A and B are shown apart, each in its own frame.
Chain A
Amino acid sequence: MKRRQAMAVQRTAICLALCLFLAPVLWLIMTAYEPSRAIQSTPPALWFRPTLSNFAAIAANFNLPRLVLSSFMLSAGSTLLSLLFGIPCGYALARTRSRSAVFIAYALLAIRGVPTVVTLIPFYLFMQKLGLLGTWWAVILMNATLSTAFVTWMMFSAFRAVPVEIEAAAVIDGCTAFGAFRRAALPLVQTSVIAAALLCMMFAWNDFLNPAFLTRAETRPLSVALLTAFGGNTTSGWGDLGAMAHLSTLPIVAVALLLNRYLVSGLTRGAH
C-alpha cells in the first residue's frame, strides 16, 4: 500500500515536471493553428478559431522534405561520427594508466570550450579550401569535433564504472582486447551510449550558428529555416514559426522514442 502511494507521488511529480518542460513548446506548436491577430493580442487570447493557413504558407515558401532531410543528415552524420570517434577514445582513456590520457581528455574538453567566435571564420575558409563549403559535410565535421569531446567524456565516465575484471575474464575466455571491449565492456554501458547518442542528435538538430554559416539554400536544416519562417521584423511570423516547429520537434521526438527501449539499465541484463 505504502509502495503504491510512493509510486503515485513519484508519477505525479514526473507528470508535473513534464508539463513544465512541454508547455512552452506546446504553446509554440499551438500558434501554428492561430491566426496571427490572435497570437499577439491583449489580454492574451485563450480561445481562437483554428486555421491551417500557416501550414499552407510554409509549404509554399519552403522545400519542406528537403529541410527535414538536411536536418536528419546533419544529425545522423554528426552523431555517427562522434560515436565512432568518441566511444573508443573514451574507452582507451578509461583503461590506460598513462598520464597523457588525462591530458588528452582535458584537451578535448578545453577545445570544446572555445567559443565559436574564434573558430567560425577560420573553419569557413578551411572548408572552402577543401571544397566542402555549403555541403552537409562541413557542418557534420564541425559538429563532430564538439560532440566527439562530449561522447569521449561521457563514455570515459561510463567505462570507468565498469569493473576491469569483467574484461579480464573475457580475455581469459579467448577474446582479443578489442573483442573484450566490444563483447564485454560495451554492452554494459549501453545506457550511456544511447544517452550520448540522443544528446548528440539533439545538439546537432538544434544547432543554429554553424549550419546557418556553413550551408547553402539547398543544404539548410530546419533549425535555420525556423528563423527564416519567423521572418523579418515587421510581420508576425509566429504562426509560420509554430507550423515549422511541428517539423523541427515531432520527427526528432519520434526517433528518440524509437531509441527509448534501449535506455535500460546496463547491469540488469545478465552481465555476470
Chain B
Amino acid sequence: MAAPAVIHVAVFALYPILRGIGFSVFRMNLMQPWLHRFIGLRNYTDALSDPAIRHSLAVTLIFTAACVTAELALGLCLALLLWADNRFNRVAAILMLVPITVTPIVVGLIFRALLDPSFGQIGYWLCALHLAPPQGLLGDTHTALATMIAVDVWEWTPLSALILLAGLKSLPSDILDAAAIDGAGACARLLRIILPMMLPSLFLVLVLRVTDVFRTYDIVFAATGGGPGDSTNLLMLTAVKQGLQFFDIGYGSAISILMTLAIAIMAALIILVLRGLDRRYSAS
C-alpha cells in the first residue's frame, strides 16, 4: 500500500533532487553557461569554510531550537485547552488555523508593518512607551531575531496544536477514564499517562517543525531581509540568494544539500531520543 506514494515521490521529488545533486558538483552559474565545469566537492568545501555561512548556521540553529520549543509547548497547551469535544472548541480550533492560511511572505509584510516604530499599530506604541528600541524591534540587532522567532511561533503554533489535538483525540478513552478513577491529579495524569501516549504526535510535531523551521525563508526575507546587520540571516536566505538570485545554482544546491544533511541528522537524533523514551515508558 505504500507503493503509490513511494513511486510518486520517487518520480516527482527524487528525480529533481538527483539532478540538483548533480548540479552541486559543478561550477554552474546559469548566467555564465560558458564557465560550467566539473569541480567535485569544491562547492561544499567553499560553503563549509565561509565564515558568513557558519554564522548563518548558528543563527539558524538558535532560531530553530527556539521556534520548535515554543511551538511545541504552546501547541500542547492549546491542544489541552481544546481537547473537550464541544462546538465551541471545534470552531475555535478552526479559527485558530487562520494564520496558516496567510502566505508567509505576507505574514512577514504584516509584521514589518505592525511593528514599524513610525507607522505600526504595535511598534509605534511600544516605542512611545520605551518598550522597544528606538529603531523598532526589527531594526535593532539585539531584538530582531527574537522578534522573528515570535512571528514564526505566531504563524505555526496552530499547526502543532492541531496535530497534538488530533493525537489527544485518538487516545483510547478507557485508559483515561481508568486514570481518572484512580484519582491521579491533573498534573500527574498529564505527565505519566497522557504525554507518554502522545509520544507519536509529539514526535511528529518535533520532526515536522524542525525540518520546516530550519528552512524558513519567506517571513524573514519580507520582514528584515536578514538584517539588521547579520542578526537574522538564516541559512535559507543565503541558499536562495546564491541559487535563485545570483543563479549560482551549483553553489546554491550545495548549501541546500548541506542543509538537508543537517536536517536529516537532527531528525535522526530526535527519532533516537524519542525511541529511547518510548521504550522506557512501555517498559515501566
Contact = CB atoms under 8 A, between A and B. Distances in A.
A51 interface: no
A196 B267 CA distance: 20
Contacts of A42: 118-119, 124
Interface string A172-192: 000000000100000011011
B17 to A, nearest CB: 5
29 contacts: A14-B81, A17-B78, A17-B81, A21-B95, A43-B124, A86-B5, A104-B6, A108-B6, A113-B260, A114-B260, A117-B243, A119-B17, A126-B12, A158-B167, A192-B167, A192-B170, A195-B163, A202-B101, A206-B101, A208-B105, A209-B218, A249-B102, A256-B97, A257-B91, A265-B85, A265-B169, A265-B170, A266-B169, A267-B173
A60 interface: no
Contacts of B85: 264-265, 268
B17 A117 contact: no
Q: Give the one of A118, A198, A264 with max B CB within 10 A.
A: A118
A156 B264 CA distance: 19
Given A14-B82, A145-B8, A25 B16 contact: no
Contact of A206 (B100, B215, B271): B100
Nearest to A238: B113
Contact of B204 (A89, A110, A154, A264): A154
Query: Which of the four size classes fits the interface of chain A?
Result: 35 or more
A123 interface: yes
B121 interface: yes
A80 interface: no
Given A162-B170, A256-B97, A265-B85, 11 more contacts: A44-B119, A89-B5, A112-B211, A114-B256, A115-B240, A121-B249, A126-B16, A150-B208, A154-B166, A263-B169, A264-B169
A243 interface: no
Contacts of A111: 9, 13-14, 17
Given A40-B119, A144-B12, A205-B101, A158 B166 contact: yes
Contact of B253 (A10, A117, A160, A199): A117
Interface stretch (B46-54, B63-71, B154-162, B223-231): B154-162
Contacts of B158: 21
Contacts of B105: 208, 227
B13 A119 contact: yes
Contact of B267 (A28, A113, A257): A113
Contacts, number: 290
Interface of A: 10-11, 13-14, 17-18, 20-22, 24-25, 27-28, 39-44, 81, 84-86, 88-89, 91-93, 101, 104, 106, 108-115, 117-123, 126, 141-142, 144-146, 148-150, 152-154, 156-158, 160-163, 181, 188-189, 191-192, 194-196, 198-199, 202-203, 205-209, 223, 226-227, 230, 238, 241, 245, 248-249, 252-253, 256-257, 259-261, 263-268
